[in-house]
Amino acid sequence: MLRTVFFGTPDFAATSLQALIHAPEINVVAVVSAPDRPSGRGQQLKSSPVALLARKHSITLLQPEKLRDPEFLTELAAFNADIFTVVAFRMLPEVVWNMPPYGSLNIHGSLLPDLRGAAPIQWSLAYGDSETGVTAFSLNHAIDEGPVLRQVRISVGTNETFGELYARMASEGAQLAAHVLVQRVYHDLRPLPQEEGLAHRAAPKLTPEFTHLEHLVRLWDVHNRIKACDPIPGASLPTPESPTERWKLFGSEWPESVALSSSKATHYIIDNQGIKIISADAHVIVHEVQWPGKRRMSATDFVRGSRLRGRFTLSGQKNE
Protein backbone atom coordinates (compact mmCIF):
# COMPACT_ATOMS: atom_id res chain seq x y z
CA MET A 1 0.00 0.00 0.00
CA LEU A 2 1.21 3.49 -0.93
CA ARG A 3 2.56 5.39 2.10
CA THR A 4 2.13 9.16 2.33
CA VAL A 5 2.54 11.89 4.94
CA PHE A 6 -0.09 14.59 4.57
CA PHE A 7 0.73 18.30 5.11
CA GLY A 8 -2.17 20.76 5.46
CA THR A 9 -4.05 23.11 7.77
CA PRO A 10 -7.46 24.58 6.67
CA ASP A 11 -10.74 22.90 5.76
CA PHE A 12 -9.77 22.94 2.06
CA ALA A 13 -6.91 20.59 2.97
CA ALA A 14 -9.07 18.53 5.34
CA THR A 15 -11.30 17.59 2.39
CA SER A 16 -8.28 16.08 0.64
CA LEU A 17 -7.11 14.30 3.78
CA GLN A 18 -10.55 12.75 4.20
CA ALA A 19 -10.41 11.40 0.64
CA LEU A 20 -6.93 9.90 1.16
CA ILE A 21 -7.96 8.25 4.42
CA HIS A 22 -10.75 6.41 2.58
CA ALA A 23 -8.71 5.57 -0.55
CA PRO A 24 -8.09 1.79 -0.60
CA GLU A 25 -4.58 2.00 -2.09
CA ILE A 26 -3.31 4.80 0.19
CA ASN A 27 -2.03 4.65 3.76
CA VAL A 28 -1.76 8.05 5.45
CA VAL A 29 1.00 7.20 7.92
CA ALA A 30 1.21 10.68 9.49
CA VAL A 31 -0.19 14.19 9.27
CA VAL A 32 1.72 17.47 9.62
CA SER A 33 -0.32 20.57 10.50
CA ALA A 34 0.07 23.97 12.12
CA PRO A 35 0.51 24.04 15.93
CA ASP A 36 -2.60 24.70 18.01
CA ARG A 37 -3.04 28.44 18.58
CA PRO A 38 -4.95 30.53 21.16
CA SER A 39 -8.25 31.71 19.70
CA GLY A 40 -11.40 33.59 20.68
CA ARG A 41 -12.20 35.66 23.73
CA GLY A 42 -11.00 32.99 26.13
CA GLN A 43 -7.78 32.46 24.14
CA GLN A 44 -8.24 28.71 24.35
CA LEU A 45 -6.04 26.57 22.14
CA LYS A 46 -7.69 25.78 18.81
CA SER A 47 -6.65 23.00 16.43
CA SER A 48 -6.75 23.27 12.65
CA PRO A 49 -9.38 21.29 10.71
CA VAL A 50 -6.62 18.96 9.47
CA ALA A 51 -5.30 18.35 13.00
CA LEU A 52 -8.82 17.59 14.25
CA LEU A 53 -9.37 15.08 11.44
CA ALA A 54 -6.03 13.37 12.12
CA ARG A 55 -6.93 12.95 15.79
CA LYS A 56 -10.40 11.66 14.90
CA HIS A 57 -8.84 8.87 12.83
CA SER A 58 -5.97 8.21 15.29
CA ILE A 59 -3.31 9.17 12.75
CA THR A 60 0.06 10.29 14.11
CA LEU A 61 0.01 14.11 14.19
CA LEU A 62 3.10 16.32 14.01
CA GLN A 63 2.81 20.06 14.68
CA PRO A 64 6.32 21.52 14.38
CA GLU A 65 7.02 25.21 14.88
CA LYS A 66 10.04 24.93 12.58
CA LEU A 67 10.16 22.62 9.58
CA ARG A 68 13.97 22.41 9.69
CA ASP A 69 14.03 21.23 13.29
CA PRO A 70 16.37 18.16 13.39
CA GLU A 71 14.06 16.21 15.69
CA PHE A 72 11.10 16.79 13.35
CA LEU A 73 13.15 15.76 10.30
CA THR A 74 14.29 12.56 11.99
CA GLU A 75 10.73 11.67 12.95
CA LEU A 76 9.48 12.50 9.45
CA ALA A 77 12.10 10.30 7.76
CA ALA A 78 11.19 7.36 10.02
CA PHE A 79 7.77 7.07 8.37
CA ASN A 80 9.44 5.88 5.12
CA ALA A 81 6.80 7.56 2.97
CA ASP A 82 6.76 6.97 -0.77
CA ILE A 83 5.51 10.51 -1.39
CA PHE A 84 4.36 13.54 0.61
CA THR A 85 0.98 15.19 -0.07
CA VAL A 86 0.76 18.96 0.48
CA VAL A 87 -2.49 20.94 0.40
CA ALA A 88 -2.80 24.54 1.65
CA PHE A 89 0.33 24.45 3.79
CA ARG A 90 3.27 26.79 4.20
CA MET A 91 6.32 26.57 1.93
CA LEU A 92 8.41 23.47 2.60
CA PRO A 93 12.21 23.55 2.66
CA GLU A 94 13.98 21.25 0.19
CA VAL A 95 15.13 18.97 2.99
CA VAL A 96 11.44 18.15 3.50
CA TRP A 97 9.87 18.16 0.01
CA ASN A 98 12.76 16.19 -1.50
CA MET A 99 12.85 13.53 1.25
CA PRO A 100 10.57 10.78 -0.22
CA PRO A 101 11.57 8.86 -3.37
CA TYR A 102 8.63 10.33 -5.33
CA GLY A 103 9.02 13.83 -3.92
CA SER A 104 6.02 15.88 -2.80
CA LEU A 105 2.65 16.33 -4.50
CA ASN A 106 0.93 19.70 -4.12
CA ILE A 107 -2.68 20.63 -4.95
CA HIS A 108 -3.21 24.22 -6.15
CA GLY A 109 -6.52 25.97 -6.83
CA SER A 110 -5.88 27.16 -10.38
CA LEU A 111 -4.72 25.98 -13.79
CA LEU A 112 -1.01 26.62 -13.37
CA PRO A 113 0.98 28.56 -14.45
CA ASP A 114 -1.99 30.94 -14.27
CA LEU A 115 -2.78 32.41 -10.84
CA ARG A 116 0.30 31.40 -8.92
CA GLY A 117 0.09 32.67 -5.36
CA ALA A 118 -1.79 32.51 -2.07
CA ALA A 119 -5.34 33.36 -3.22
CA PRO A 120 -6.05 31.81 -6.65
CA ILE A 121 -9.76 31.14 -6.12
CA GLN A 122 -10.57 34.72 -5.03
CA TRP A 123 -8.53 36.25 -7.83
CA SER A 124 -10.12 33.99 -10.46
CA LEU A 125 -13.55 35.19 -9.33
CA ALA A 126 -12.40 38.80 -9.20
CA TYR A 127 -11.17 38.55 -12.80
CA GLY A 128 -14.58 37.24 -13.84
CA ASP A 129 -13.28 33.90 -15.16
CA SER A 130 -15.88 31.52 -16.56
CA GLU A 131 -13.47 28.62 -16.04
CA THR A 132 -10.79 27.77 -13.50
CA GLY A 133 -9.39 24.49 -12.24
CA VAL A 134 -7.18 22.50 -9.91
CA THR A 135 -3.58 21.47 -10.54
CA ALA A 136 -1.60 18.58 -9.08
CA PHE A 137 2.13 19.26 -9.38
CA SER A 138 5.45 18.26 -7.88
CA LEU A 139 7.10 20.73 -5.50
CA ASN A 140 10.46 22.29 -6.34
CA HIS A 141 12.48 25.31 -5.20
CA ALA A 142 10.06 27.96 -6.55
CA ILE A 143 6.55 28.64 -5.25
CA ASP A 144 3.87 27.10 -7.51
CA GLU A 145 6.34 26.53 -10.34
CA GLY A 146 6.91 22.77 -10.13
CA PRO A 147 6.16 20.36 -13.00
CA VAL A 148 2.51 19.47 -13.56
CA LEU A 149 1.14 15.97 -13.00
CA ARG A 150 -2.53 16.51 -13.83
CA GLN A 151 -5.13 19.28 -14.12
CA VAL A 152 -8.92 19.38 -13.82
CA ARG A 153 -10.98 22.17 -15.39
CA ILE A 154 -13.96 23.62 -13.51
CA SER A 155 -16.65 25.95 -14.87
CA VAL A 156 -17.61 29.01 -12.81
CA GLY A 157 -21.17 30.28 -12.53
CA THR A 158 -21.97 33.92 -13.26
CA ASN A 159 -23.23 34.42 -9.70
CA GLU A 160 -21.12 31.78 -7.93
CA THR A 161 -19.50 33.00 -4.71
CA PHE A 162 -16.09 32.27 -3.25
CA GLY A 163 -17.66 30.05 -0.61
CA GLU A 164 -19.52 27.99 -3.20
CA LEU A 165 -16.57 27.63 -5.58
CA TYR A 166 -14.16 26.93 -2.70
CA ALA A 167 -16.25 23.93 -1.63
CA ARG A 168 -16.45 22.55 -5.17
CA MET A 169 -12.72 22.99 -5.75
CA ALA A 170 -11.86 21.38 -2.42
CA SER A 171 -13.86 18.32 -3.50
CA GLU A 172 -12.26 18.23 -6.96
CA GLY A 173 -8.81 18.70 -5.44
CA ALA A 174 -9.38 15.81 -3.04
CA GLN A 175 -10.34 13.44 -5.87
CA LEU A 176 -7.41 14.63 -7.94
CA ALA A 177 -4.93 14.08 -5.09
CA ALA A 178 -6.10 10.51 -4.49
CA HIS A 179 -5.94 9.68 -8.21
CA VAL A 180 -2.57 11.27 -8.90
CA LEU A 181 -0.84 9.73 -5.85
CA VAL A 182 -1.65 6.25 -7.13
CA GLN A 183 -0.73 7.10 -10.72
CA ARG A 184 2.56 8.68 -9.64
CA VAL A 185 3.77 5.83 -7.43
CA TYR A 186 2.27 2.75 -9.10
CA HIS A 187 1.94 3.76 -12.74
CA ASP A 188 4.97 6.01 -13.22
CA LEU A 189 3.02 9.20 -14.03
CA ARG A 190 5.66 11.69 -15.18
CA PRO A 191 5.41 15.40 -14.39
CA LEU A 192 5.70 17.87 -17.26
CA PRO A 193 7.19 21.39 -17.02
CA GLN A 194 4.71 24.24 -16.74
CA GLU A 195 4.09 26.09 -20.00
CA GLU A 196 6.02 29.25 -19.21
CA GLY A 197 5.28 30.75 -22.62
CA LEU A 198 1.62 31.16 -21.66
CA ALA A 199 0.44 34.53 -20.39
CA HIS A 200 -0.45 34.16 -16.72
CA ARG A 201 -1.72 36.33 -13.89
CA ALA A 202 -0.62 36.53 -10.27
CA ALA A 203 -2.81 35.66 -7.27
CA PRO A 204 -1.12 37.39 -4.32
CA LYS A 205 -2.30 37.36 -0.72
CA LEU A 206 -5.37 39.55 -0.28
CA THR A 207 -4.98 43.03 1.22
CA PRO A 208 -7.75 45.11 2.85
CA GLU A 209 -7.95 47.19 -0.34
CA PHE A 210 -9.05 44.10 -2.29
CA THR A 211 -12.46 44.41 -0.63
CA HIS A 212 -12.97 48.12 -1.47
CA LEU A 213 -15.49 48.40 -4.30
CA GLU A 214 -15.35 52.19 -4.80
CA HIS A 215 -11.97 51.86 -6.55
CA LEU A 216 -13.42 49.66 -9.30
CA VAL A 217 -14.82 51.12 -12.50
CA ARG A 218 -16.92 48.54 -14.36
CA LEU A 219 -20.12 47.11 -12.92
CA TRP A 220 -18.90 43.66 -14.02
CA ASP A 221 -15.80 44.10 -11.83
CA VAL A 222 -17.89 45.26 -8.87
CA HIS A 223 -20.13 42.21 -9.21
CA ASN A 224 -17.17 39.84 -9.43
CA ARG A 225 -15.39 41.41 -6.47
CA ILE A 226 -18.47 40.95 -4.29
CA LYS A 227 -18.51 37.27 -5.34
CA ALA A 228 -14.80 36.91 -4.60
CA CYS A 229 -15.26 38.23 -1.04
CA ASP A 230 -18.40 36.26 -0.17
CA PRO A 231 -18.63 35.04 2.57
CA ILE A 232 -15.18 36.26 3.68
CA PRO A 233 -13.73 38.83 3.98
CA GLY A 234 -16.77 40.70 2.61
CA ALA A 235 -16.64 43.39 -0.09
CA SER A 236 -17.44 46.86 1.20
CA LEU A 237 -18.34 50.49 0.48
CA PRO A 238 -18.19 53.65 2.61
CA THR A 239 -21.50 54.28 4.39
CA PRO A 240 -23.49 57.35 3.31
CA GLU A 241 -23.76 58.47 6.96
CA SER A 242 -20.02 58.26 7.69
CA PRO A 243 -17.35 57.77 4.99
CA THR A 244 -14.90 56.40 7.58
CA GLU A 245 -17.23 53.45 8.25
CA ARG A 246 -17.91 50.69 5.74
CA TRP A 247 -20.82 48.38 4.99
CA LYS A 248 -20.43 44.95 3.45
CA LEU A 249 -22.27 43.52 0.45
CA PHE A 250 -22.99 39.84 -0.24
CA GLY A 251 -24.97 37.75 -2.69
CA SER A 252 -24.52 39.87 -5.82
CA GLU A 253 -26.80 38.64 -8.60
CA TRP A 254 -26.39 39.50 -12.25
CA PRO A 255 -29.95 38.76 -13.49
CA GLU A 256 -30.26 36.38 -16.45
CA SER A 257 -32.43 38.95 -18.20
CA VAL A 258 -29.62 41.53 -18.10
CA ALA A 259 -26.94 41.26 -20.81
CA LEU A 260 -23.34 41.14 -19.65
CA SER A 261 -21.89 44.62 -19.87
CA SER A 262 -18.56 46.42 -19.50
CA SER A 263 -20.18 49.74 -18.65
CA LYS A 264 -19.19 51.86 -15.69
CA ALA A 265 -20.86 51.40 -12.31
CA THR A 266 -22.30 54.85 -11.60
CA HIS A 267 -24.27 54.52 -8.35
CA TYR A 268 -26.36 52.28 -6.13
CA ILE A 269 -29.99 52.59 -5.11
CA ILE A 270 -31.57 51.78 -1.77
CA ASP A 271 -35.37 51.76 -2.00
CA ASN A 272 -38.31 49.82 -0.60
CA GLN A 273 -37.59 46.90 -2.94
CA GLY A 274 -33.97 46.43 -1.85
CA ILE A 275 -30.51 47.40 -3.09
CA LYS A 276 -29.19 47.57 -6.65
CA ILE A 277 -25.88 48.73 -8.14
CA ILE A 278 -26.44 50.51 -11.44
CA SER A 279 -24.59 51.22 -14.69
CA ALA A 280 -25.82 52.88 -17.88
CA ASP A 281 -27.20 49.63 -19.33
CA ALA A 282 -27.19 47.05 -16.54
CA HIS A 283 -27.64 46.43 -12.83
CA VAL A 284 -26.87 43.85 -10.16
CA ILE A 285 -29.04 42.97 -7.18
CA VAL A 286 -27.43 42.84 -3.74
CA HIS A 287 -29.22 40.21 -1.65
CA GLU A 288 -27.43 40.57 1.70
CA VAL A 289 -25.66 43.32 3.62
CA GLN A 290 -23.88 43.93 6.90
CA TRP A 291 -23.95 47.44 8.31
CA PRO A 292 -21.23 48.50 10.80
CA GLY A 293 -21.88 46.95 14.20
CA LYS A 294 -24.75 44.84 12.87
CA ARG A 295 -25.16 41.20 11.89
CA ARG A 296 -25.30 40.06 8.28
CA MET A 297 -28.90 40.19 7.05
CA SER A 298 -30.98 40.11 3.90
CA ALA A 299 -31.34 43.35 1.97
CA THR A 300 -35.09 43.00 2.47
CA ASP A 301 -34.70 42.98 6.25
CA PHE A 302 -32.27 45.89 6.07
CA VAL A 303 -34.59 48.21 4.15
CA ARG A 304 -37.49 47.16 6.35
CA GLY A 305 -35.61 48.34 9.44
CA SER A 306 -33.77 51.36 7.99
CA ARG A 307 -34.93 54.80 6.86
CA LEU A 308 -31.98 55.18 4.50
CA ARG A 309 -33.23 55.65 0.93
CA GLY A 310 -31.87 57.21 -2.24
CA ARG A 311 -29.23 57.11 -4.95
CA PHE A 312 -25.60 57.09 -3.82
CA THR A 313 -22.22 57.08 -5.55
CA LEU A 314 -19.90 54.21 -4.69
CA SER A 315 -18.03 56.65 -2.44
CA GLY A 316 -21.21 57.24 -0.42
CA GLN A 317 -22.31 60.67 -1.64
CA LYS A 318 -26.05 61.06 -2.17
CA ASN A 319 -27.26 61.84 -5.69
CA GLU A 320 -30.31 64.09 -5.60
pLDDT for the residue numbered 261: 85
pTM for the predicted model, two decimal places: 0.94
The DSSP string of the chain is -EEEEEEE-SHHHHHHHHHHHT-TTEEEEEEE-PPPEEETTTTEEE--HHHHHHHHTT--EE--S-TT-HHHHHHHHTT--SEEEEES-PPPPHHHHTSSTT-EEEEESSSTTTTBSS-HHHHHHHTT-SEEEEEEEE--SSTT-SPEEEEEEEE--TT--HHHHHHHHHHHHHHHHHHHHHHHHHS-PPPB---TTS---B-PPP-GGGGBGGG--BHHHHHHHHHHTTTTT-EEEE-SS-TTSEEEEEEEE--TTSPP--PBEEEEEEETTEEEEEESS-EEEEEEEE-TTS--EEHHHHHHH----EEE-TTSPEE-
Q: What is the mean pLDDT of each run of 10 residues along the chain (320 residues)?
A: 97 98 98 90 86 98 97 98 97 97 98 96 98 98 96 98 98 98 95 86 96 97 98 97 94 92 94 96 97 96 96 91
Domains and CATH numbers, the chain: 2-186 (3.40.50.12230), 208-319 (3.10.25.10)
pLDDT for the residue numbered 220: 97
